[in-house]
Structure 1
Amino acid sequence: MTNVDEVYERLRGTGPERDGWLSNHAPMAAEALIRHGHERIVHRWLDDYADRLETRPRGISPVLADDWESPLGDPTRTGDWLNFFDRELALAPWREVLVSWWPRLLPGIAAGATHGVIRVGHAVRSLIDGPTPARIGELGQGLAYWAARWQPLAPPGAGPYPATDPRSALDAVPRVPDQRSGARERLAQLAATPGWAGASGAVPGDPADDVPTRLAAIVEAATLRHGTHGYAAPVMLVHAATAPSAVARVLPVLPDALWKPSLAAAWSATAAITAAYSPGTARPVPARPPELVMALAAEDGDEHAIKFADTALDVYARTGSARVLDSARHSIHLLGA
């Protein structure tokens, strides 16, 4: 039987990206497979994924604790950031390092098309189960990736805005005008997109609800919306759900003072991915056979399908909604098409 520490040790020498910008999904997908009872196939899955892994990059010049802002968002310094967080986590408890760096990294939540925060979310979930050197090392890799690809979004507008339910709020997010380019180019259009400041600043949900409840509702809305809108960009629109899900996984180890900023950043990430990739019209979700969601994703083998199924199952555990499972099965079908 495979545990997550074996996976993290196996992947320790790999880099967070390949081909210059594509994310290494192996540690995230493997953690999700193991958590949902598919540990027997993990090493075979990793064998199949091996040709998409690159060697951990070397450093150029050390990142200094008192001069960390200048290399922030510089992907050529990825190796330096990996070395930096290895040192930081060797000197202080992992929760202390995370709490120190979370507010620094949170404004750049779009890093790596949100894969930085997603990788951190998977690592923290494993650490909550019990800290081990391998899990702490994986947290360092996630934080380093986030720092190296740190990318802020266009700032939201100032309120007040009417409270809305998350699904309606997502439907109201404006689309960027040019949807032919890559993620960085699409997200760069947000500042000039009419309606963006208002949509991103209007964090949906009842202000009387607590932050976990509002964040869970955003994840649920994005998960369901993938079923009706994912046909346009199945892979990229996954992250509208998995990015806020990652933030939700980190909340339990953050001080309360960081919860509201985390909620706002999670919503901005969901809204940004929606603006960049969502089509203008919905398509109905067809009925699907009642396969177990993670089993279907595991059979498909696509790393985004596995991570999306993981998030969908979190939503289902909270809501018991059959619509979530229908949407997830359809989305996995789209991702495997």
Structure 2
Amino acid sequence: MIDMNTNTSMDDDSGVLDEALERLHASGPERLGRLTNHAPMVVETLASRGRSGAVHRWLDLYETKLEEFPASVDPVTETNWQTALGDPRRAADWIAYFTRELAEHPWREVLAVWWPRLLPGIYGGSTHPVIRVGHTVRTLLKGAGSTPRVTELAHGLGYWAARHHPLSGIDWRPDAAEAREALASVSAISDPEGGFPHRLARVGRLPAWAAGVTDPDEARRRLAELVRAATHRYATHGHGEETMLIHAATAPNAVLRTLPALPRSLWAPSLHAAWTAAAAVTAMYPTEVPVPYVSPGRVTAEEVFERALAHGDEHVIKLADTAMDVGDEQALAAALRAVELTAP
């Protein structure tokens, strides 16, 4: 667990986030060939939530999970990028490509070009790449375009490109009116065993929630509704898989955070991709018997985040971050449920 005395109430202007990102960019986006490096997402969360004093302390504890930056295979270029897409061996090549692109073009322009190319592969890396990008964009939208933060966007986009994994062949069922109802109507996959890629390959039928939405403002409203519904659902269904079900909320929230940086024409496609990701995760990790909702009582969002930080798990911290975005009682209950279910 994290020592709560590390909270010195610094904000990210202290330079702590930049220091942490520079420290992390010597490491690869994964470890053991498949597990995600969550540290960039967590340090951004701590800085954004006014807990910069805990950043290096948390990172010291996580450092044993970091691996060296991977070796390059062959440079990614404008002429060969399509063949390199979705090749996890090319992570270093992709990161180098985006580093060059972001040195030559404003970050919003690069994001606008690559977001629609990468969005169909939102499921790769268990949705972690889009979550990493969403955390980075949140910081960049504050106007803090320091070199380490722009470099972090290169790492996030590069990781996404390397792990790009489309999902096709979905049989779309009639949708429900509300995101809450649509998530409740998701059917479990036929063989809910094995890891994320094995389960993802078995996703075949999903409800077509919000399929007809084309208006950008309506898409943003529906995406916020989805984040709220998925976060609420964790409070009663999180025990079905305490870690992976968190992504049903955090992946759509990463997309929601990115919308202001994107052309409005990309908002509706972003909604549809986020829904498919949330629904797929729900189908892949079904909860047979939900637990009754338990009110968290008189607790503030800041107190909930402090409990998540004291717990220390990366997924718990990130769900608490999303719960604070949602901001209501059941969202806070979901964050506390993650603290309860997850081993520190």
Q: Same fold (TM over 0.5)?
A: yes
Equivalent residue runs for 1:18-29 within 5 Å = 18-29=31-42
Equivalence for 1:328:
335
Equivalents in 1 of 2:79, 2:184: separation in Å?
Answer: 43
User: Does 2:291 match 1:283?
Assistant: yes
Equivalence for 1:176:
189
Q: Which runs of 4+ in 1 moved over 2 A?
A: 154-159, 201-209, 285-291
Equivalents in 2 of 1:293, 1:278: separation in Å?
Answer: 26
Q: Secondary structure at the match of 1:252?
A: helix
Equivalence for 1:305:
316
User: Does 2:18 match 1:10?
Assistant: no
Equivalent pairs: percent with the same residue? 48
Equivalents in 2 of 1:85, 1:276: separation in Å?
Answer: 32
Partner AA of 1:70 in structure 2: T
User: Does 2:283 match 1:269?
Assistant: no
Equivalents in 2 of 1:30, 1:333: separation in Å?
Answer: 22
Equivalence for 2:253:
245
Equivalents in 2 of 1:249, 1:155: separation in Å?
Answer: 28
Partner AA of 1:326 in structure 2: A
Tell me whether 30-39 or 239-248 shows the greater mean CA deviation.
30-39
Equivalents in 2 of 1:325, 1:216: separation in Å?
Answer: 16
User: Does 2:319 match 1:314?
Assistant: no
Equivalence for 1:77:
90
Equivalent residue runs for 1:147-162 within 5 Å = 147-157=161-171, 161-162=174-175
User: Does 2:216 match 1:202?
Assistant: no
Deviation of the 1:127 alpha carbon: 0.5
Equivalence for 2:305:
294
Equivalence for 1:165:
178
**C-alpha contact (below 8 Å) 2:102/2:154 kept by paired residues:** yes
Deviation of the 1:125 alpha carbon: 0.5
* Stretches of structure 2 lacking an aligned partner (at least 5 in a row): 1-9
Equivalence for 1:102:
115
Deviation of the 1:212 alpha carbon: 1.5
**C-alpha contact (below 8 Å) 2:131/2:250 kept by paired residues:** yes
User: Does 2:267 match 1:259?
Assistant: yes
Equivalence for 1:120:
133
Deviation of the 1:272 alpha carbon: 0.6
Equivalents in 2 of 1:323, 1:302: separation in Å?
Answer: 21
**C-alpha contact (below 8 Å) 2:188/2:285 kept by paired residues:** yes
**C-alpha contact (below 8 Å) 2:296/2:329 kept by paired residues:** no
Equivalence for 1:38:
51
Deviation of the 1:203 alpha carbon: 2.6
**C-alpha contact (below 8 Å) 1:89/1:140 kept by paired residues:** yes
Deviation of the 1:301 alpha carbon: 0.3
Partner AA of 1:322 in structure 2: E
Equivalents in 2 of 1:148, 1:259: separation in Å?
Answer: 23
Deviation of the 1:88 alpha carbon: 1.1
What CA deviation, in whole Å up to 9, does each residue of 1:166-187 have, x standing for no partner?
A: 1110011111111120000000
User: Does 2:198 match 1:213?
Assistant: no
Alignment CA distance shift 1:158-1:285 (3 Å): closer
Partner AA of 2:241 in structure 1: A
Alignment CA distance shift 1:190-1:105 (3 Å): same
Alignment CA distance shift 1:72-1:332 (3 Å): same
**C-alpha contact (below 8 Å) 1:227/1:330 kept by paired residues:** yes
Equivalents in 2 of 1:235, 1:158: separation in Å?
Answer: 27
RMSD of Structure 2 on Structure 1 (CA) = 1.8
TM-score with structure 1 length normalisation? 0.92
Equivalents in 1 of 2:233, 2:259: separation in Å?
Answer: 24
Deviation of the 1:327 alpha carbon: 2.3
Alignment CA distance shift 1:204-1:218 (3 Å): farther
What CA deviation, in whole Å up to 9, does each residue of 1:8-45 have, x standing for no partner?
A: 11111110000111000001011111111211111010
**C-alpha contact (below 8 Å) 1:23/1:112 kept by paired residues:** yes
Alignment CA distance shift 1:256-1:157 (3 Å): farther
**C-alpha contact (below 8 Å) 2:245/2:285 kept by paired residues:** yes
**C-alpha contact (below 8 Å) 1:164/1:205 kept by paired residues:** no
Q: Secondary structure at the match of 1:336?
A: coil
Alignment CA distance shift 1:236-1:158 (3 Å): closer
Q: Secondary structure at the match of 1:70?
A: helix
Partner AA of 2:245 in structure 1: L
Q: Secondary structure at the match of 1:113?
A: helix
Equivalence for 1:145:
159
Equivalents in 2 of 1:167, 1:127: separation in Å?
Answer: 31
**C-alpha contact (below 8 Å) 2:101/2:110 kept by paired residues:** yes
Aligned residues: 326
Partner AA of 1:327 in structure 2: A
What CA deviation, in whole Å up to 9, does each residue of 1:206-232 have, x standing for no partner?
A: 888612111000000000101111102
What CA deviation, in whole Å up to 9, does each residue of 1:94-129 have, x standing for no partner?
A: 111110000000000001000010000001111111
User: Does 2:232 match 1:224?
Assistant: yes
Q: Secondary structure at the match of 2:42?
A: helix
Equivalents in 2 of 1:210, 1:304: separation in Å?
Answer: 29
